[in-house]
Chains A and B, each alone.
Chain A
Amino acid sequence: MSDHGAHGAVDAAGQGDHGAHGAVDATPPVTGRPTQEELAERKARTRVPPERSGDIMTISMGPQHPSMHGVYRAVLDLDGEVIVAVRPEIGNLHRGLEKLCEERTYHQIIPLTDRLDYISGFAMNHGFCEAAETLMQVEVPPRAQYIRTIASELCRVSNHIMWLGVHIMDLGTQTFFVICFRDREYVLDLFEMLTGARLTHSFARIGGVAKDLPDGFEHRCRKVIDFLPKRVAEYERIVKHNRIYYKRAKGVGIFTADDCYAWRVTGPPLRSAGVARDLRKDEPYAAYGEVDFEVAVEYNADVYDRFLVRMKEIRESCKIIRQCLDQMPDGDFLARDAAHTLPRKRDVLRESGAMIQDFNQVFRGPQVPKGEVYRSIEVPKGEMGVYIRSEGGPRPARVRFSTPSFYHGQAVPPLVEGETIADMVAIFASIDVVLGDCDR
């Protein structure tokens, strides 16, 4: 493992507090808030092994290694147990989604985006629709914005719970994985009720969402979000103070804020480095500007703090969902914009206008102006940017999904070089890479 001598280090502020009482009591080590320089210094200290034999062995980890979270392959150069160099190999799951997008209308692209990050499908739909709506200047009605916010936050909850189960399983506990999957099931049941699907939701539409909230959804959703924070407390009781987890995670895989910017590492790994960067706050979209929540921030930039950030985020997500249910406005769930959106399905066989609109949208597609947009939203794994260039007409000329896993997968060498191979398992899990998202 790494140098644990560093983690008992108390920062200056913590020392001052104790000094005021006149004596240092035997409380657990103060975590404190290290500055970026201290983090960089800590990182340098934990990464350099005391001595090297110079005898390098090259092994291939993945694409079918159980801890690689999909078909990610890392070619490792090892000196004993210490990783000297890593060459990441991705692309085993490449499906040419961007090429497929160029052959489809904007409505037909939405089901493709589900397959990017299949753990949090709705968030991907949402990102694409935000970009397409910016391009088409479609005004999304408030009720749709609230439903989108609820669905996006449910994605975040289910993603983080699943992440936790898999992460802890990588570190050697099978039972906890089952506990997490049991709790994720409640969220997936909500999705099944809301969208009809458990993973590939395809629920967002240009200008809104596919359906209104079903009867009884609010009651069930409230039950789940009342119950999940208690579960999070249980996870923390099991994991947070677990000596084995603490030793495996604390001070491992330190990645400072500057490293994060340079390697475009976003989301929980960036927030664990003491940066309160969250697009939901910084560039509000959907209904995030109208709800009250805190950005989860931790300061030690290691695997342990990424776990803490995600647990805080589940709590904050429950808070956001509760506020959205409380403030849910009445009105349309889909914009009434005949040039760009689909009509409501119920109206298609009853009203001639809706029937014509349906025909136009399905057979011709939306009429989009010429231009290019780039919109970035906060998906559970980080920031996803969607670039669309249109040359007019119903199909985009170029679509690019700048997905968080793509950049997180690239940042594996600077994260793990100098650490041991056992730590690589923990570090790789902590940045939350999904290969569908990575390979596109």
Chain B
Amino acid sequence: MTPGEDTLQTLPASLMTAVEALGSTFGERLVERTEFRGELTLSVDPAAWLDILTFCRDDGSTAFDQLDSLLGDHLPERAEAPFAVVAHLLSHTYGHRLRVKTALAEGQALPSVTGLWPSAGFDEREAWEMFGVVFAGHPDLRRLLTTDDFEGFPLRKDFPLKGTVGGRVRTDLRGKI
């Protein structure tokens, strides 16, 4: 990945304008800006997550009206902030795309963006059940793909691929689910 201003020239002009608007509004809360394979990634401060995404949706120069994908990630080599949440935004007005990501420590909560794009509901539930990233303000943060009594976070790198972890049948939940 090659950070820097000169590599950004290959990106669409509308996206450049959007990024300039974001840069002038949020300044150093945009931690890093990288371009790789024609895609732009903004790494942001988790405290500014909701503000930046709100700006991305509502500002006329950015106009990201669709959240194409929101996912969690685990990078155990980053000891102080091993988790990541990555959002892919898409603008139907301009046709440009942007990736916004943030790094999180174990147990650190991130504000939910379901108020901005309701499609984030399932994505955030999945990121929570797979990685243990808590989304504050999510209306219904339950397990989505695994069973309700599953234990552990299966997409973390330390979760084994084989074995019987989380396979216990909990009879005490019978009739309550």
Contact = CB atoms under 8 A, between A and B. Distances in A.
Contacts of A398: 71, 73-74
Given A264-B117, A283-B95, 5 more contacts: A91-B145, A91-B146, A137-B37, A387-B69, A402-B68
Contacts of A65: none
Contacts of A397: 75
B68 A376 contact: yes
Interface string A83-124: 000000011001010111011000000000000000000000
A389 B71 CA distance: 12
A255 interface: no
Contacts of B39: 372-374
Interface stretch (B13-21, B46-54, B102-110, B118-126): B118-126
A264 B92 contact: no
Given A137-B37, A264-B67, A400-B71, A374 B118 contact: no
B155 interface: yes
A263 B122 CA distance: 10
Which of B37, B144, B159 gathers most chain A CB within 10 Å?
B37
Nearest to B77: A391
A98 B74 CA distance: 13
A387 B119 contact: no
Contacts of A263: 118-119
Contacts of B173: none
A410 B122 contact: yes
18 contacts: A90-B122, A137-B37, A261-B65, A263-B119, A264-B66, A264-B68, A283-B95, A372-B41, A372-B99, A374-B68, A376-B68, A383-B68, A385-B68, A389-B73, A397-B75, A402-B68, A402-B88, A407-B122
Interface in B11-49: 36-37, 39, 41
Contacts of B169: none
Interface of A: 90-91, 94, 96, 98-100, 102-103, 134-135, 137, 261-264, 275, 277, 282-283, 370-374, 376, 383, 385, 387, 389, 397-398, 400, 402, 406-407, 409-411, 414, 439-440
Contacts of B161: 99-100, 103
A87 to B, nearest CB: 8
A439 B69 contact: no
A440 B119 contact: no
A370 B68 contact: no
Label chain B's interface by main secondary structure: loop
Contacts of B121: 410
B141 interface: no
Contacts of B81: none
A11 B67 CA distance: 33
Given A277-B92, A406-B122, A387 B86 contact: yes
B1 interface: yes
Contact of A134 (B37, B66, B75): B37
Interface size of B as a range: 35 or more
A409 B144 CA distance: 12
Given A103-B161, A410-B119, A374 B144 contact: no
Contact of B145 (A94, A275, A407, A410): A94
A94 B88 contact: no
A102 B68 CA distance: 22
Label chain A's interface by main secondary structure: mixed
Interface string B69-90: 1010111000000000010100
A414 B36 CA distance: 37
A370 B145 contact: no
A90 B95 contact: no
B69 A91 contact: no
A406 B88 CA distance: 16
Contacts of B117: 262, 264
B145 A387 contact: no
B111 interface: no
A168 B106 CA distance: 49
Nearest to B69: A402
A437 to B, nearest CB: 13
4 A-B pairs with the lowest CB-CB distances in the bound complex, closest first: A402-B69, A264-B119, A91-B145, A94-B145
Contacts of A387: 69, 71, 86, 88
Contacts of B99: 372, 374
A262 B97 contact: no
Contacts of B157: 102
Contacts of A103: 161
A96 to B, nearest CB: 7
A343 B157 CA distance: 32
A7 B113 CA distance: 36
A137 B39 CA distance: 13
A91 B143 CA distance: 9
A99 B71 contact: no
Given A263-B119, A389-B73, A90 B36 contact: no
A402 B88 CA distance: 10
B88 A385 contact: yes
A263 B123 CA distance: 11
B155 A374 contact: no
A400 B69 contact: yes
B145 A374 contact: no
Nearest to B122: A410
B164 to A, nearest CB: 14
B118 A99 contact: no
A424 B4 CA distance: 52
Nearest to B159: A99
